[in-house]
C-alpha cells in the first residue's frame, strides 16, 4: 500500500504549480479568500457550486499561516484536491471488508496512475472532493445493506450530506444511485433478504437522514450564519436542472465523454484510458456471474450498475465538462481491479505470464499518459482534460504587466484596466492580485478616460482605439504605444493586447 | 550693513527651505493615488476552445485585400442550397442576404455533423476571395471548414478546394492544411486566387460550443467571366 501511495504522490505532487491557473481555480481562490479574510460565505445557487470546498480548504491555509490572497499560491490550493485524490485511494482500503486484498491493490494502483485522477488531483475545483464523498457514501451504503450497521448508516448520511454540500451534480448521482438500488431490487440481483432487513432498521434510517440533514443545514447556512442559504439551496435545483437540459455553452453530443476518455484525437496525437474500460468490462460480468458468497458481491453490483447509469445519465445531458467523468470512471477503476484480481487467481502459470505482460503494458501506458498530460501537454489541445485551460504563454503577459506597473510605481495617477467581453478575463485577477490600482471591465466605457495601461481582449481592439483617439476632443488626445506588435495568447482562441500611455512607456526605458 | 547681511542670509535660507518644501510636495504628488476601480466579476467555466492547429490572432485589423477593379460580391441575393433544407433556426436565404449582424434573426442554424451550403453565382466567374461569417456573438471555432468551387451544382466537374482545415479528413474531402480560426465580426477572408467556377460550396462540422453549424453570411468576391 505504501508503494501505491508513493507512486500516487510522486505523479501528483511534482511541480504542482506548473500548469497555469485555470479560470475556475482562480475564482475558487477568490471565493476562498472572502471566507478566510471576511469570514463570510453566502451560497450562490447560480454558480461556483457548494460550500464544502471552501470550508475544507481553510485548515490548509491555517496550516500554511496564510492570511491574505496575495499570500495564496497554487501549491497550497492544489494540495487540497490532491489530499482528496490520495484519500480516494485510501478509501478503498478503509472499506476493504467487501473486497479481496488483490482486488484492492489492483484498483488502487490503477487509481494511482489514472491520467484523469492524476490531472484533477492537481486542480483546485470541487470535483476530487465530490468523487471522494460520493464513493465514501456508496461504500458506506453498500456496507449498510450488507450488515445493517448503525455506523454505516450514519457514515452514509454524513457522506451524502457532504456530497450535497460540495456540488449540485449530486442530484444526477443520486438519481443514478436510486435507480441502481431499484434495478438491484427489481431483478433480484441482490437477495431480497438484504433489502427487507435494511428496510426494517428504521432507527438506522432516521440516523442516516438526520446526519445528512445536519450536514446540509450547517454548510448551506454557513454554519447557521446565513439561514437564507437553505432557500437558495432549494433554488439551485431548478437552476441546475435548466442548465443540464438547456445550455448554450458546454453543449456536446452524447458520445463526448467516451471520446474524451477513450478515443481522443487531436492533431497527430492520440489519448486513451481504454485499458481501464477493457479491464472493467469483465469485472462487470464477473460481479453478476460469481456466486453470492463472493465477498465483493454487494458493493460490486452496486458499483457496476451505478457507474453504467452515471455514464448514461451524464451522456444524455447536453451540458458536458470533462471533470464530470470522474464519478463513473472511478467505478470502472474499482471494477477493473476486481477483474484483474480474478484473472490473477484463476489463470494457470503459463497464461499468467501473458497476463502480467499485458497488465504491465497497460499500467505503463496509463503512467506515460499521466506524465504526458500533467507535465508536457498540460495546457495543450492534445490533452482532453485541459478544458478552457490558459496556456503557458500567459506568463509572458503577466510578466510584462508586472514590469510595466513596477516601472511606473512613481507615476502619479497610474492605474491599469482589464477589459474583456462577458468578464472573460479569468484567471488574470489571480495573477494580478498583487497589483493595487487595477480595474476590471466587460466593455470599453467611452464616458471614462482610458487608463494609462490598457489590457484588453483583442476582439475589443477597435473599441479601445476609438476611446483613445476618437472620443477625446482634438488637443486632449493622449498617445498610446502597443507593448508589442502581436497579441498575448491567454488561452486557445482568447488573446489580449497591451497598450501603454506614452509617458508610462517612456518610464520603461 | 550687518543688518542687510542678516536679511540676505535669511532670504536665501527662506528660499532654500521653500524650494525644499515644494520639492517635497511634488515628491508627494508622485505617489500613486488610490483610485476606486471595479473589482473583477465572477463568471462560470468559460467555453473550451482548445483546438489543434489554431491560428494566432493578428492583434490588429486585417490588411486590405487587393483584387482587380470591378470585383463585386457575386453572392449577394443569389440562391443557396443546403444539405439541411429545413434549418433549426432561420432560413437558407439568409446566407446571402448581406446581413452580417451577430444577433438573432441574422443567422441560420443547420443540423449536426458535416453540413454544406452551395451558392449558385448564376454564371461562371473569376473568384478572388470568399468571406465567411459563421457566428460571432461569442468566440468560436468551426471545424472542417472547407470551401470548394466547381462548374456544376453536384461538384463533379472542375472542383477546386480553396480552403480546407479538416485536419483528420472527418468530412471526407481530404486532409486540409489550413488552420482553424476564431470567428470574429471581421469574418474569415479566404484568398481564392482567381479560381474560376459557378458554384461555391462551404462545409462545416460543428463548433467548439456544440455540434451544430451556423452561417450568418457568405460573400464571394469576383467578376463574371465574359
Total domains in chain B come to 1
Read off the pLDDT of residues A165-224 as tens digits, 9 standing for 90 and up: 999 999 999 999 999 999 999 988 888 888 888 888 889 999 999 999 999 999 999 999
Is residue B217 assigned to a domain?
yes
Give A-chain residues touching B42 at CB under 8 angstroms.
Answer: 27, 30-31, 47-48, 423
Check B210 against A251: CB less than 8 A apart: yes
Q: What is the DSSP letter of B211?
A: S
pLDDT at A102: 79
- Rounded to 5°, the CA angle A203-A208-A210 comes to 90
The reply to whether A370 and A400 lie within a common domain is: no
CB pairs below 8 Å between A and B: how many?
148
Check B43 against A415: CB less than 8 A apart: no
The reply to whether A231 and A351 lie within a common domain is: yes
Rounded Cα gap, residues A304 and A183, in angstroms: 12
Is residue A188 assigned to a domain?
yes
A252 and B48 Cβ atoms separated by less than 8 Å: no
* pLDDT bucket at B119, cuts 50 / 70 / 90: very high
Helix (H, G, I), strand (E, B) or coil at B205: coil
Instruction: Compare A348 and A491 and report the one with higher pLDDT.
Output: A491
Task: Give strand ranges (E) for A268-354.
Answer: 269-271
CA dihedral of B179, B185, B186, B188, whole degrees rounded to 10: 30
Residue A293 clears pLDDT 60, i.e. is over it? no
Rounded Cα gap, residues A159 and A165, in angstroms: 10
Give A-chain residues touching B37 at CB under 8 angstroms.
Answer: 415, 417, 437-440
For testing the chain B interface, which of A125, A381, A493 should be mutated: the one with the most B CBs within 10 Å? A493
The string of DSSP letters for A329-362 reads: HHHHHHHHHHHHHHHHHHS-HHHHHHHHHHHHHH
CATH code of the domain covering residue B151: 2.60.120.260
A276's CB contacts (< 8 A; 6+ apart) are: A110, A114, A329, A332, A333, A336, A366
Residue in chain A nearest B139 by alpha carbon: A493
The residue-averaged pLDDT of A291-307 equals 79
Minimal Cβ distance to B30: which of A388, A412, A492: A412
CA dihedral of B152, B153, B155, B156, whole degrees rounded to 10: -50
Q: What is the DSSP letter of A1?
A: -
Task: Give strand ranges (E) for B112-216.
Answer: 115-133, 146-150, 160-164, 188-204, 213-215
pLDDT at A292: 58
Is residue B189 assigned to a domain?
yes
pLDDT at B43: 84
Residue A463 clears pLDDT 80, i.e. is over it? yes
The reply to whether A218 and A347 lie within a common domain is: yes
Give the residue from A5, A9, A11, A3 showing the smallest Cα distance to A372: A11
Contacts by A72-78, CB closer than 8 A, 24 or more apart: A72/A29, A72/A32, A72/A33, A72/A433, A73/A17, A74/A16, A74/A17, A74/A21, A74/A25, A74/A124, A75/A16, A75/A17, A77/A25, A77/A28, A77/A29, A77/A32, A77/A124, A78/A16, A78/A17, A78/A25, A78/A122, A78/A123, A78/A124
Residue in chain A nearest B166 by alpha carbon: A267
Check A417 against B37: CB less than 8 A apart: yes
Is residue B18 assigned to a domain?
no
Check B59 against A485: CB less than 8 A apart: yes
Q: Which of A317, A347, A376 is the last residue of a domain?
A: A376
The reply to whether A365 and A449 lie within a common domain is: no
- Rounded to 5°, the CA angle A128-A133-A135 comes to 95
Cis preceding linkage at A269, omega within 30? no
CA dihedral of A278, A279, A284, A285, whole degrees rounded to 10: 80
The reply to whether A325 and A233 lie within a common domain is: yes
pLDDT at B132: 95
The reply to whether A412 and A323 lie within a common domain is: no
Residue in chain B nearest A381 by alpha carbon: B50
The reply to whether A132 and A201 lie within a common domain is: yes
Residue in chain A nearest B40 by alpha carbon: A440
Check B57 against A487: CB less than 8 A apart: yes
Residue in chain A nearest B37 by alpha carbon: A439
* pLDDT bucket at B30, cuts 50 / 70 / 90: very low
Is residue A381 assigned to a domain?
no
Total domains in chain A come to 2
| Alpha-carbon A351 to chain mean position | 40
A442-468 burial string, b = 16+ CB within 10 Å, else e?
bebbeeeebbbbbbbbbbbbebbbebb
For testing the chain B interface, which of A492, A497, A504 should be mutated: the one with the most B CBs within 10 Å? A492
Which three cell numbers mark A319? 451540458
Minimal Cβ distance to A493: which of B60, B141, B167: B141
How many angstroms separate the Cα of A474 from the Cα of each of A89, A249, A477, B65?
A: 68, 44, 6, 31
Which residues pair with residue B150 across a beta bridge? B199
Domain range for residue B207? 72-224
pLDDT at B17: 64
A318-335 burial string, b = 16+ CB within 10 Å, else e?
bbbbbbbbbbbbbbbbbb
The residue-averaged pLDDT of A226-251 equals 81
The reply to whether A323 and A403 lie within a common domain is: no
Is residue B22 assigned to a domain?
no
Minimal Cβ distance to A425: which of B40, B44, B168: B40
pLDDT at B34: 53
Percentage of chain A modeled with pLDDT above 90: 68
Check B37 against A414: CB less than 8 A apart: no
Is residue A387 assigned to a domain?
no
Residue B168 has a CB neighbour count (10 Å cut-off) of 14
Is residue A384 assigned to a domain?
no
Least confident of A25-34, A138-147, B19-28: B19-28
Check A459 against B139: CB less than 8 A apart: yes
Residue B50 clears pLDDT 50, i.e. is over it? yes
The reply to whether A370 and A426 lie within a common domain is: no
Give A-chain residues touching B47 at CB under 8 angstroms.
Answer: 249-250, 388
Is residue B37 assigned to a domain?
no
The reply to whether A435 and A311 lie within a common domain is: no
Check B40 against A429: CB less than 8 A apart: yes
Residue A121 to chain B, least CA–CA distance (Å): 18
Which three cell numbers mark A22? 485555470
A254 and A316 Cβ atoms separated by less than 8 Å: yes
Is residue A386 assigned to a domain?
no
Is residue B202 assigned to a domain?
yes
Minimal Cβ distance to B51: which of A248, A485, A492: A492
Q: Which residues of B touch A (CB under 8 A)?
A: 29-35, 37-54, 56-61, 112, 138-141, 167-168, 182, 184, 208-211
Read off the pLDDT of residues A418-458 as tens digits, 9 standing for 90 and up: 999 889 999 999 999 999 899 999 999 998 889 999 999 98
CA dihedral of B5, B8, B13, B15, whole degrees rounded to 10: 180
Check A388 against B46: CB less than 8 A apart: yes
The reply to whether A399 and A372 lie within a common domain is: no
Is residue B53 assigned to a domain?
no
Q: Which of A324, A345, A376 is the last residue of a domain?
A: A376
Which three cell numbers mark A182? 431499484
Residue A319 to chain B, least CA–CA distance (Å): 10
pLDDT at B5: 74
The reply to whether A190 and A300 lie within a common domain is: yes
Minimal Cβ distance to B49: which of A409, A423, A492: A492
pLDDT at B29: 43
Check B45 against A494: CB less than 8 A apart: no
Is residue A61 assigned to a domain?
yes
CA dihedral of A391, A396, A397, A400, whole degrees rounded to 10: 170
Is residue B45 assigned to a domain?
no
Instruction: Compare A104 and B19 and report the one with higher pLDDT.
Output: A104
Is residue A488 assigned to a domain?
yes
Give the residue from B85, B123, B136, B90 showing the smallest Cα distance to B220: B123
Rounded Cα gap, residues A32 and A55, in angstroms: 8
Residue in chain A nearest B35 by alpha carbon: A437
Domain range for residue A449? 394-506
Q: Is A48 left (phi over 0), alpha (psi -120 to 50) or beta?
A: left
Check A30 against B112: CB less than 8 A apart: no
User: Mean pLDDT for chain A?
Assistant: 91
pLDDT at A117: 97
Check B42 against A380: CB less than 8 A apart: no
How many angstroms separate the Cα of A195 from the Cα of each of A201, A290, A298?
A: 10, 20, 11
Rounded Cα gap, residues B40 and A426, in angstroms: 9
A410 and B30 Cβ atoms separated by less than 8 Å: yes
Give B-chain residues touching A388 at CB under 8 angstroms.
Answer: 45-50
pLDDT at A210: 97
Residue in chain A nearest B177 by alpha carbon: A267
Minimal Cβ distance to B40: which of A388, A410, A440: A440
Amino acid at each position: 500500500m505504501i508503494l501505491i501511495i508513493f507512486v500516487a504522490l510522486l505523479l501528483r505532487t511534482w511541480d504542482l504549480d506548473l500548469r497555469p491557473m485555470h479560470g475556475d481555480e482562480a475564482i475558487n481562490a477568490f471565493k476562498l479568500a472572502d471566507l478566510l479574510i471576511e469570514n463570510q460565505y453566502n451560497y450562490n445557487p447560480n454558480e461556483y457550486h457548494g460550500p464544502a470546498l471552501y470550508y475544507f480548504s481553510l485548515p490548509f491555509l491555517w496550516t500554511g499561516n496564510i492570511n491574505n490572497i496575495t499570500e495564496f499560491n497554487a501549491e497550497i490550493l492544489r494540495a487540497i484536491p490532491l489530499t482528496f485524490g490520495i484519500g480516494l485511494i485510501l478509501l478503498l482500503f478503509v472499506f476493504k471488508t467487501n473486497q479481496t486484498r488483490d482486488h484492492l491493490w489492483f484498483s488502487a494502483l490503477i487509481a494511482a496512475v489514472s491520467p484523469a485522477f492524476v490531472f484533477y488531483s492537481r486542480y483546485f475545483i470541487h470535483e476530487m472532493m465530490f468523487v471522494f464523498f460520493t464513493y465514501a457514501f456508496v461504500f458506506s451504503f453498500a456496507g449498510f445493506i450488507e450488515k445493517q450497521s448503525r455506523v454505516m448508516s450514519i457514515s452514509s448520511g454524513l457522506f451524502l450530506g457532504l456530497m450535497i454540500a460540495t456540488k449540485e451534480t449530486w442530484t444526477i448521482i443520486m438519481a443514478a444511485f436510486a435507480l441502481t438500488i431499484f434495478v438491484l431490487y427489481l431483478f433480484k440481483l441482490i437477495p431480497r433478504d438484504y433489502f427487507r432487513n435494511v428496510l426494517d432498521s428504521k432507527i438506522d434510517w432516521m440516523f442516516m437522514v438526520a446526519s445528512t440533514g445536519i450536514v446540509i443545514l450547517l454548510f448551506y447556512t454557513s454554519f447557521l450564519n446565513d439561514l437564507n442559504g437553505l432557500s437558495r439551496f432549494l433554488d439551485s435545483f431548478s437552476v441546475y436542472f435548466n442548465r443540464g437540459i438547456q445550455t448554450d455553452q458546454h453543449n456536446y453530443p452524447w458520445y463526448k465523454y467516451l471520446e474524451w476518455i477513450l478515443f481522443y484525437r487531436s492533431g497527430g496525437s492520440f489519448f486513451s484510458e481504454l485499458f481501464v474500460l477493457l479491464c472493467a468490462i469483465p469485472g462487470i460480468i464477473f460481479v453478476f456471474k460469481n456466486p453470492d458468497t463472493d465477498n465483493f458481491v454487494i458493493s460490486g453490483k452496486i458499483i457496476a450498475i451505478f457507474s453504467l447509469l452515471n455514464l448514461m445519465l451524464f451522456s444524455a445531458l447536453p451540458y458536458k465538462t470533462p471533470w464530470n467523468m470522474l464519478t463513473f470512471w472511478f467505478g470502472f477503476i474499482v471494477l477493473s481491479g476486481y477483474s484483474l484480481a480474478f484473472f490473477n487467481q484463476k489463470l494457470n502459470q503459463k497464461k499468467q505470464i501473458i497476463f502480467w505482460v499485458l497488465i504491465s503494458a497497460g499500467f505503463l501506458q496509463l503512467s506515460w499518459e499521466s506524465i504526458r498530460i500533467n507535465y508536457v501537454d498540460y495546457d495543450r489541445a492534445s490533452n482532453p482534460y485541459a478544458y478552457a485551460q490558459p496556456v503557458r504563454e500567459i506568463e509572458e503577459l503577466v510578466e510584462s504587466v508586472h514590469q510595466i506597473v513596477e516601472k511606473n510605481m512613481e507615476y502619479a495617477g497610474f492605474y491599469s484596466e482589464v477589459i474583456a467581453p462577458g468578464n472573460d478575463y479569468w484567471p488574470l485577477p489571480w495573477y494580478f492580485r498583487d497589483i493595487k490600482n487595477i480595474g476590471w471591465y466587460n466593455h470599453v466605457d467611452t464616458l471614462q478616460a482610458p487608463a494609462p495601461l490598457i489590457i484588453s481582449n483583442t476582439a475589443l481592439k477597435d473599441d479601445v482605439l476609438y476611446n483613445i483617439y476618437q472620443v477625446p476632443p482634438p488637443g486632449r488626445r493622449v498617445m498610446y504605444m502597443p507593448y508589442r506588435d502581436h497579441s498575448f495568447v491567454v488561452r486557445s482562441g482568447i488573446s489580449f493586447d497591451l497598450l501603454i500611455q506614452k509617458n508610462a512607456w517612456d518610464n520603461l526605458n | 550693513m550687518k543688518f542687510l547681511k542678516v536679511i540676505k542670509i535669511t532670504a536665501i535660507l527662506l528660499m532654500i527651505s521653500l524650494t525644499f518644501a515644494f520639492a517635497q510636495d511634488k515628491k508627494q504628488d508622485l505617489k500613486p493615488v488610490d483610485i476606486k476601480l471595479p473589482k473583477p466579476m465572477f463568471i462560470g467555466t468559460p467555453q473550451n476552445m482548445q483546438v489543434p492547429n489554431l491560428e494566432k490572432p493578428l492583434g490588429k485589423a486585417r490588411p486590405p485585400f487587393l483584387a482587380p477593379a470591378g470585383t463585386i460580391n457575386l453572392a449577394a441575393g443569389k440562391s443557396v442550397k443546403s444539405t439541411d433544407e429545413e434549418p433549426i433556426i432561420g432560413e437558407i436565404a439568409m446566407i446571402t442576404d448581406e446581413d452580417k449582424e451577430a444577433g438573432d434573426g441574422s443567422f441560420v442554424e443547420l443540423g449536426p455533423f458535416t453540413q454544406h451550403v452551395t451558392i449558385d453565382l448564376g454564371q461562371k466567374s473569376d473568384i478572388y476571395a470568399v468571406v465567411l461569417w459563421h457566428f460571432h456573438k461569442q468566440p468560436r471555432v468551426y471545424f472542417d471548414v472547407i470551401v470548394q468551387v466547381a462548374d456544376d451544382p453536384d461538384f463533379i466537374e472542375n472542383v477546386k478546394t480553396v480552403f480546407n482545415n479538416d485536419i483528420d479528413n472527418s468530412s471526407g474531402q481530404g486532409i486540409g492544411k489550413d488552420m482553424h480560426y476564431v470567428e470574429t465580426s471581421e469574418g474569415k477572408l479566404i484568398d481564392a486566387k482567381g479560381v474560376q467556377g459557378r458554384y461555391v460550396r462551404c462545409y462545416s462540422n460543428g463548433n467548439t460550443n456544440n455540434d451544430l453549424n451556423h452561417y450568418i453570411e457568405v460573400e464571394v468576391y469576383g467578376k463574371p467571366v465574359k
